[in-house]
Structure formats: C-alpha cells, structure tokens
Amino acid sequence: MKRFVILSLLLVLLPSGRAEACTAAVISGRATPDGRPLLWKHRDTGVLDNALVHFRGERFSFTGLVNAGGNIAPSASPSDREVWIGANTAGFALMNTASYNIKDDDVPSNMMDREGIIIFRALGVCRDISDFEHFLDTLSRPAGVEANFGAVDAYGGAAMYEVNNSTCVKYDINDPSVAPGGYMVFTNFSFSGREEDYKGYERYLTASAIFREADSSGTAFTPDFIFSSLSRSFRNDFAGVDFGRDIDSIVDGGYGNGIVPDMDFIPRRSTSASVVVQGAASGEDPLHTVLWTVLGYPPCGTAVPVPVSEDDIVPAYMKLSPSSGHSIMCDTALGIKEKYVFRFGVSNGKEYLDLMPVVSGRLPERSLVGCCRESDRRIREAFSLLYEGYADGNMSGKEFRDRYIDISPLFMEIYLDEFKYFAHLLKNH
C-alpha cells in the first residue's frame, strides 16, 4: 500500500500542461480475427464539440468526424473544410495525429495546421493507399502539415505516414519487420524525428503496453477491445499506476479519496471523441466499412456503429443539430463528464477528476464505465444481427441501409437507458 501513496504524490507533483493531442493505432487485417483492418483515433483537442457528417466528395462519398462550428457546410469552399478521421465508399479510411518533432523549416504558423483539410480532400478522391501516396506527392509545397497520418483500405493496405512540409516517411503495417504484431501505435511524435521533441510519449508507453499484452495473451483486436481497454483506461505506464484497476484498494486503504490529477491518461479532459474505423477485408465489399464512434468523453459515452454509404444515414443525434449546431449525443457525454467527473471549479480543480463514479466497483450504482460497457454490448448485439445478414450476402445494400435507418434511433435509447441513474442530467435530451 505504501506504493500507492508514493505514486499518488508523484502524480500530484507532475506538471499538467497539454497541447492538442491524440492517441492512435493502425492495425492490419492480418492481426484481426476477421481480416478487417482497424484505424483508431482517440482525439484530444480544444474543440470538444464534435459530430459526424456525411459528405459527397469529388469521386467518393464519405463520413467523417468534424468540429461543431467548423467550416463544413456544403456551400463552404472544399479548400477550407476539415475532417479529422473518416472513411469513404471505396473503403479507404484516413486519420491524423499532430506531430511536434519533424518540422525542419521556417514556414510560418499561419500556413500550417492543414491536416484536417488534407484528410477531407483525400477522402473525396482516394480509393486506396496508393492513391493517397500519389495525393501526397502532388500536394503543393510547403504542404502546411507536421503530422502522422494513418490509413487503411479495402485491398489489404495499412500504413502510417510521417509528413512534414517537404518529406514523407512511410511505415507499412503489413511488413513484419516494421510491425511484427501487425499494428503500430503512435501519439504526438514521429519516429523519424527529433527525440528531444517527443510529445505524448507517456500515452504512447501506455497504449503500446496494452496492445502488447493483448497480443501476447491472444486477445482479439476489435473495436470493443480498443474502447474498453484503451479509450477508457486510467493507466499511466510512465508513472507505473493503473487507477482503473486499483482505485478501490487505494480508497479502502485510506491512501486517497478517488480524486486524482488528469495527467497523461489516454482519456483526458481535452478528449472530444474516440473513433475506430473497421474496414473491409481484402476482396470484401468496401461498403462493409463501419465507423464505430464514441462522441464526447469516452468514459461517459457509447460506441455507435455508422456504416459508410452513398447516402446520408448518419443518425440524427450524431450529426450537427439544426437548432444547437452541436451533436446531441456529444453534448450528453460532455455534460455527464462535467457533472460527475471533472466537477471541480475552484482553484486548480479543473485539473482533477473524481474516479469514484467513473470506475469504482464499490458504489451502490453502476460505475460510468460499467454503464458504457453494457450500453456498448447492447448496441453491438443489435447492430450485429442486422450487419451479419448484409455481410453474408443475404440482404441487399438498400435493404441494409433502410433497416439501419430504422434501428439506429434504438442506439440512443439504449445509451440513455443504461445511464438512467443520471436521468436528472439527461432529461432534457
């Protein structure tokens, strides 16, 4: 128990500054149980209000994660629109994380930060990874980026690209010498860049350890594994603690009260969404691609499956509401977070979170993560009953889309039902 006291004090003394950041992974189909690649982005940003939007691109329709209030209206110039992770009807999916150690020029800041614009443009025109590489080659220079891009396609492709204003380094996730386990984890530094400028290294250590342990134990890499083991993890391998596992022992032993600093966990106060694109296996219909999306703070949200489609079938509660300009589901998760997790408004209280309602198994009511887990399970089971018939060829694409539109309101109902203990907060939704 003395270990808990020392580590808790260590975390309190650690600095709490943060920049825009993400934790991410590219997983080849050779590492998943069904041969379908996975592309994960856990997004940290200053714009917490996120939503899903359907777009019709130059060649392909696509669905992507956007900022509420962002320049995404159909009338907006395509050169200004931004998407942060998405997938198109060709089965190509793309995302980014900011990098802070590969810019090697004096290009001014007002010409940088074009990653979201590049993702928007690429999803509209790229069929596969080869197309994306050609797309990168033809960008005007300086490209206006310092980033890691992750991509998968419906032809077996899976890669990560470290891109700055003039150069690109590719990592082929299908190459065992590059990714022995068939996956690559990355945060906010590039492996080819300056070590002294690594950012997000603590989250990289934690995510890498979780993936490595799962690989060693034979745990299947699935969207559910990512959400439950990473997006809602309160483990910090740099400090050697796992509060999700140990919080009850700490509190019961009198070594803490469950309130801890928000320091370098994968989910943070700045988290706006966690998305796993489950792509199509090589040779499979690209329209089998699904965006599993948790909007808002993942320990207070649920994973909703949204298939790619030529038509806009994004559930209304995931979209930008015409009245508020926000996603109802995102607002709900963020509201729970502020009410029960980051509930301290005095002094430096905003830098602390109360983990007792989040992960404790000793409370009279189910923990928030317990609510998430049960909501995810019920939604996954309901969707699987529909999706399997479509994937097996027993249902046309039109019938699948029509039936998806019919059942998707159920996902929000399940979410609200599992969080009914918090009904006094959710009643307006």
Helix axes 397-418, 368-391, angle to 10 degrees: 170
The amino acid at 96? N
What would the mean pLDDT of 246-259 be, rounded to a whole number? 93
- Give residue limits of the domains in the chain: 17-232+267-331
Helices and strands (H and E) in the chain: how many: 11, 17
Q: Check if the beta carbon of residue 62 is closer than 8 Å to that of residue 89.
A: yes
Position 72 scores a pLDDT of 54
Does the domain made of 17-232+267-331 have the CATH classification 3.60.60.10? yes
- Provide the b/e sequence for 321-335 (b: ≥16 CB within 10 Å): eeeeebbbbbbbbbb
DSSP string, 176-234: TTT-TTSEEEE-SS-TTS-GGG--SHHHHHHHHHHHHHHHHHT----HHHHIIIIIT--
Q: How far apart are CA 300 and CA 302, in angstroms?
A: 7
227: number of Cβ within 10 Å: 26
What would the mean pLDDT of 284-306 be, rounded to a whole number? 97
Residue 15: pLDDT band (50, 70, 90) is very low
Bond preceding residue 142 cis, omega within 30 of 0: yes
Which of the two residues, 1 and 139, has the higher pLDDT score? 139
Residue 111, Cα to own-chain centre: how many angstroms? 26
DSSP string, 290-336: EEEEEES-GGG---EEEE--SS----GGGS--TTTSS-HHHHHHHHH
DSSP string, 76-136: S-TTT---SEEEETTS-EEEEEE-SS---S---GGG---HHHHHHHHHHH-SSHHHHHHHH
Position 420 scores a pLDDT of 87
Q: For residue 13, is pLDDT > 50?
A: no
What would the mean pLDDT of 38-45 be, rounded to a whole number? 98
What would the mean pLDDT of 146-167 be, rounded to a whole number? 98
Position 158 scores a pLDDT of 98
